[in-house]
Each structure stands twice: as C-alpha cells, then as structure tokens.
Amino acid sequence: MPNELSQSTCEACRADANDLHEEEIQELLPQIPSWTVCEEENIKRLVCSFAFLTYEDSLKFTNEVAKLAEKEDHHPEIFLEWGKVTVTWWSHKIKGLHNNDFICASKTDDLFKEFE
C-alpha cells in the first residue's frame, strides 16, 4: 500500500531552498525503512540497494527508476550490477536532503514491489 510520501509530487527545488534538518530527516525515515542516510563529500544522501534474481530484472528496474526521475524532474545516481541496483537520492542544487528525495525514495520502493 502506497504511503503518504509516494502519493506526493516533487516540487521545484531552488538553489536557495533549505535542506532538511536532522529532526525532519528522522521524522521521515520511518516511512522509508529500507533506506539509509549516508554522507559523502559533506552531502547527506538517501541510499538503498535492491536485490534481483536476474540481470534483466535489474535493468528493467533501473529503467523504471529512470522514468520516475524524468516524471518527477529529480534525478538519482543509479548503480546497476548483476542482481543488484543501488539508488541514491539527494538534491544537487542544495547539496543535501530535501523532501523531494524522500518522495522519490518512497516511489522507488513502490516500483520495487512490482518485481517481488
């Protein structure tokens, strides 16, 4: 069942938008329990790896995430390998996490459910 985040739509993120505070991040994380917050180059990011039985399913999932990214106009880093796809969401303009990242992470989870 889709959660509130996956029913939302990304908003345009301006370069002067504020990134989420730690309290806001901790409030949203329970809605996307398979995701972790990682920090790379002083930028917080949401990261999740998804397991697949075939390379073909990994590739199909990657393409579905790419379609989602185009629809939301918010683009993740996607790492495709045999049996696994790792997706990383963050807001490039603000160099941190925005509500859009949580929305897209939740929608990515919904896409993965179609492969289970």
How far is residue 99's CA from residue 91's CA, in Å, rounded to a whole number?
9
Q: Could you read off the pLDDT of 32-72 as tens digits, one per residue?
A: 999 999 999 999 999 999 999 999 999 999 999 999 999 99
Domain ranges, ordered by start, for the chain? 19-113
Please give the structure tokens belonging to residue 79.
């790492």
State the pTM of this model.
0.91
CATH code for the structural domain at 19-113: 3.30.1360.20
Contact 11, 72 (CB under 8 A): no
How far is residue 45's CA from residue 98's CA, in Å, rounded to a whole number?
10
